[in-house]
Amino acid sequence: MQRNLAGTSLLLFGLSILLLIMLTLFEAALLGISAAAERLITFLLLVLPAGSGALLGVLSLRRKEGRTWLAVTGILLNALFALFHLMILLYAG
């Protein structure tokens, strides 16, 4: 069975949520690292997967895979998650 891009988009959103939970639980281990390294880790673990998920949702709509509601849901959830964490990185550091 072939997996569609919209489903993969939602899987990436779930992965982003899981990584957020893991990053929150193990935040005490990040106390000794620099602020730049912490920003890089946050970008790689939270913003990049969600941004990729939003891109996969857009590609799913463009290819007209047939599950429009799934693709739109993936785009909205991933884009909001990525933009929220990107704004935290840009403004709060």
* Residue pLDDT, tens place only, 38-81: 899 999 999 999 999 999 999 999 988 888 898 899 999 999 99
Range of the domain at 34: 5-92
pLDDT band at 1 (very low <50, low <70, confident <90, very high): very low
Beta carbons of 43 and 6 less than 8 angstroms apart: no
Q: Return the number of other C-beta atoms located less than 10 Å from residue 67's C-beta.
A: 16
Phi, psi of 62, rounded to the nearest 5 degrees: -65, -35
CA neighbor of 23 nearest in space, from 40, 7, 2, 45: 45
Mean pLDDT, residues 2-29 taken together:
90
User: What is the tally of structural domains in the chain?
Assistant: 1
Per-residue pLDDT at 20 exceeds 80? yes
pLDDT at 85 over 50: yes
Q: Tell me, what's the pLDDT at 9?
A: 92
> Among the residues of 1-93, which ranges form H helices?
5-25, 35-42, 48-63, 68-87
Mean pLDDT of the chain: 90
